[in-house]
Amino acid sequence: MTPILLLAKSFLRQNRWLLLALVAWPFLMGAFLFFPQHAATREEVSEMAQMEVRYGVIVIAFLASSAIYNEKRSRRIIGVLSKAVSREQYLGGLLLGSAYFAMAYFAAIGAATLWLVKVSNHTGSAIIALFLCATLASLWAASVALLLSTVLHPFLAATLAAVLTFAPFSLHDPNTFVAPVAVLLKGSDPLASSIPLSATTAAITEIAVIVLLAAQVFTHRDVTVSIE
Amino acid sequence: MNPVLEFEAISKVYRSFLRTEHWALHDFSLRVEPGEIVGFLGPNGAGKTTAIHIALGLAQPTSGAGTLLGQKFGTVSVRRKLGFLSENPAFYHQSASDVLKFCGALNAVREPELSHRTDELLASVGLTEDANRNIGKFSRGMLQRVGIAQALINDPDLLILDEPTSALDPISRLRVRELLLQSRRQGKSVFLSSHQLSEVELICDRVVFVRRGRVVKSGHTEELLRDPGGLEITAAGVKVAPPGAQESRVQDGHLVFTISAAQQRAAIEHIWSAGGTLISLISKTRTMEELFVELMTNSESASQKLQ
């Protein structure tokens, strides 16, 4: 477990400035909504939260897809994988780092939302549901992006992951197992949503399967392809 | 005794997008025995780094197999007993002390041993005063020293070093040489890829020359450096060199000449029968650089003839 935690911490440290900017973003948006009118409407806050969650899912997919590529380019991957670290642990570290990133960002969205709307029991539980669903959705997108980035250029991998994540949103009634992210995030009002249990279970199972598959593919890939 | 590192007929082919092939290693075999320092020499593009990466499980061989510390290449747990320094090492930007602790923790070194070894190794590479500075501000030589220290953090049984002294000043080079010799005294093995031929000559027990992915020569350093050209004899009281002698000259009143090993007995008898005295008999040696150039030039012309 130690290598996974250490690699996740390093991933977070590598992306700390982006994370700081993203954490500040919901508050800046909130200030923009709040100050001119002195009170944002519930619909406005709901729309803002929904937009920021989807934006966050895409950013995290892009981060995850470029992680292996960046580590290869910087040659740091050689230093890490020449230690007693398996490819599964390496991918696990990147995914846990993405999870830390997602939790920090979605917690900031939750805090900004609480700041903008009056706190009530109902809002509190809805925000917790929003936080959990968004984190799971971003991890699903990140794991798909990681899998694809083991064989594709990171930009292609991230684009494809974003398409796989968001294309099912256009479906009227997306299948929970085929498109758990769409089910997790599709609620028209994120401030009134609850946690869809079947989609949550499907997402967690699929993340585990996708990461194991990514590890299998990654194990058979050379991490250094340049010829002396 | 089992080898600590063994390549058995390993080939590695890189295929480009257009399916053109580049053979980085071709039927490559090599053994490193416990307790020896082996130099791994060859020109750029010879396949040295590829061989090392295959041993570490970073790249897959196209064919062949091998073992690292008794386990097949790619076994994760065995790397806990391995120290590795890559060419141009790169680390996460944090303090030198944290880099060593990070690398040690990845190899399952736990506190308080981790802190103790970190301090000890930073001192041995002369970085105690810079232990808490971010390595982002370090020079290439300092980074190289951090790299050497991190390779030793887990007290490895086998050290694989790719150009460990390339960016070092003479004093740091001396320190690293002492660290490697100390490792050998402790019974550890070192596999050293380097272009610093004088360094290799000084510390390696055995040397392997590789070119275009094939081993072209290997052997004990002393034997390889012995000049097949023969022996240099210095004699007093003799005016004429024996038949077959070469480079005959008079130096400080003594006759100095070179003969082949086969003619050694006849030459000594010639000196004694002429009433002379044998002053010295030295086996002629060449430098590692001379041997390297000779081997690489010969194999170059051999491969040109084949083509």
What does each of the 307 residues of chain B score in pLDDT, given as a tens digit?
A: 789 999 999 999 988 777 788 888 999 999 999 999 999 999 888 889 999 999 999 999 999 999 999 999 989 999 999 999 988 888 999 999 999 999 999 999 998 999 999 999 999 888 899 989 999 889 888 999 999 999 999 999 999 999 888 878 888 888 888 888 988 999 899 999 988 888 888 889 999 999 988 998 888 988 888 776 678 889 888 888 888 887 788 888 888 888 887 788 888 888 888 888 888 888 777 888 888 888 888 766 666 655 5
Say yes or no for a CB contact (<8 Å) between A79 and B103. yes
Average pLDDT over residues A22-44: 76
Contacts of B45 in chain A (CB under 8 A): 227-228
Check if the beta carbon of residue B216 is closer than 8 Å to that of residue B233: no
B258 touches chain A (CB under 8 A): no
B94 touches chain A (CB under 8 A): yes
pLDDT at A118: 66
Chain A closest CA to B221's CA: distance in Å?
25
Mutate to test the interface with A, among B20, B106, B150 (most CBs of A within 10 A): B106
Residue in B22, B88, B90 nearest the CB of A227: B22
In the stretch 162-221 of chain A, residues with CB closer than 8 A to chain B read: 220
- The pairs formed by A54-57 with CB atoms below 8 angstroms and a separation of 24 or more are A54/A166, A54/A185, A56/A22, A56/A102, A56/A105, A56/A106, A56/A109, A56/A134, A56/A138, A57/A134, A57/A137, A57/A138, A57/A141, A57/A165, A57/A181, A57/A185
pLDDT at A228 over 60: no
Could you tell me which chain A residue has the CA closest to the CA of B148?
A79
pLDDT at B304: 60
How would DSSP label each residue in chain B? ---SEEEEEEEEEEE-TT--EEEEEEEEEEEE-TT-EEEEE--TTSSHHHHHHHHTTSS--SEEEEEETTEETT-SGGGGGEEEE-SS----SSBHHHHHHHHHHHTT--TTHHHHHHHHHHHHTT-GGGTTSBGGG--HHHHHHHHHHHHHTT--SEEEEESTTTT--HHHHHHHHHHHHHHHHTT-EEEEE-S-HHHHHHH-SEEEEEETTEEEEEEEHHHHHEEEEEEEEEEES--SPPTT-EEEEEETTEEEEEE-GGGHHHHHHHHHHTT-EEEEEEEEE--HHHHHHHHHHHHHHHHHHH-
pLDDT at A192: 61
Average pLDDT over residues A170-178: 75
Amino acid occupying residue B263: Q
Say yes or no for a CB contact (<8 Å) between B107 and A84. yes
A123 touches chain B (CB under 8 A): no
Residue A27's pLDDT band, with cuts at 50, 70 and 90, is confident
Contacts of B76 in chain A (CB under 8 A): 84-86
Say yes or no for a CB contact (<8 Å) between B90 and A74. yes
Contacts of A3 in chain B (CB under 8 A): 105-106
Q: How far apart are the first and last CA of chain A?
A: 34
Check if the beta carbon of residue B132 is closer than 8 Å to that of residue B97: yes
B56 touches chain A (CB under 8 A): yes
B243 touches chain A (CB under 8 A): no
In whole angstroms, what is the distance from residue B11 CA to residue B25 CA? 5
Could you tell me which chain A residue has the CA closest to the CA of B79?
A84
A13 touches chain B (CB under 8 A): yes
pLDDT at B146: 93
Contacts of A78 in chain B (CB under 8 A): 53, 58, 86, 90
Chain B closest CA to A12's CA: distance in Å?
12
Say yes or no for a CB contact (<8 Å) between A81 and B59. no
Asked if the interface predicted TM-score (ipTM) of this complex is over 0.90, the answer is: no
Residue in B49, B59, B92 nearest the CB of A76: B92
Say yes or no for a CB contact (<8 Å) between A222 and B105. no
The number of C-beta contacts closer than 8 angstroms across A and B is 83
Say yes or no for a CB contact (<8 Å) between A74 and B44. no
Kindly state the percentage of chain A with pLDDT values over 70. Answer: 89
B77 touches chain A (CB under 8 A): yes
pLDDT at B17: 73
Of A177-181, A216-220, B113-117, minimum mean pLDDT range: A177-181
pLDDT at A224: 74
In whole angstroms, what is the distance from residue A68 CA to residue A223 CA? 9
A85 touches chain B (CB under 8 A): yes
Residue in B49, B103, B150 nearest the CB of A228: B49
B48 touches chain A (CB under 8 A): yes
A225 touches chain B (CB under 8 A): yes
Say yes or no for a CB contact (<8 Å) between B46 and A84. no
Check if the beta carbon of residue A23 is closer than 8 Å to that of residue A105: yes
Say yes or no for a CB contact (<8 Å) between A224 and B14. no
In whole angstroms, what is the distance from residue A100 CA to residue A192 CA? 25
